[in-house]
Amino acid sequence: MSIKPLVILPDSKLRLISEPIKEVTGEIRRLADDMLETMYDAPGVGLAAIQIGMPVRMVTMDVSKSEEERQPLVLINPEITWVSEEKRVYEEGCLSIPEYYEEVERPDRVRFRFMNLKGETIEQDADGLLATCVQHEIDHLNGVLFIDYLSKLKRDRVMTKFKKAAKREAGA
Ligand code: NI
């Protein structure tokens, strides 16, 4: 297991559509381990494979908020199969957009289907933070970021800020 460098805005990799995973191989298991380690180290509650540069449909999450009782979730090829009509606003952040938080409105509850590391297909309901997180992470697999839900003004502002930071970094 190793901690991988995070892909940061405005890196165009974040806009890629990730490829489905056909089979749970040793390589996929190692990627899941690296993603969990990178996510816990950050620390964050969710990570998509593309955020460490791998364009495959896998997500790791842990919304337990407890160091002692970790509840790691690994979702392979996750899909939303149902969303509630009720919406909920939650302040979101993203490991690829560090130290930036904004309120985003999304369906309050969702049902999602995924394959686990044993190759089993599971369908599960989520509400609260898990519902927000699963929608945010599945968006990453489709090249969508939470800033896409903000006003153009806010999005332009954050893009400008991160472009400038990337330029400074490149020049340093
Ligand atoms: Ni994110």
| Tens of pLDDT, residues 39-54 | 999 999 999 999 999 9
With a CB cutoff of 8 Å and minimum separation 6, the contacts of 34 are 1, 2, 3, 4, 52
Q: How confident is the model at residue 172 (pLDDT cuts 50, 70, 90)?
A: low
CA–CA separation, 136 and 78 (whole Å):
12
Cα 118 to ligand 1 centre (Å): 25
Catalytic residue selected from 85, 120, 123, 137: 137
137 is catalytic: yes
Give the Å distance between the CA of 94 and the centre of ligand 1. Answer: 4
pTM confidence score: 0.96
> Would you say the C-alpha torsion 93, 96, 99, 102 has a positive or negative sign?
negative
In 3-state terms, what secondary structure has residue 49?
helix
User: Cα of 26 to ligand 1 centre, how many Å?
Assistant: 25
Of 3.30.420.40, 3.90.45.10, 2.60.40.10, 3.40.50.150, the CATH number of 12-171 is 3.90.45.10
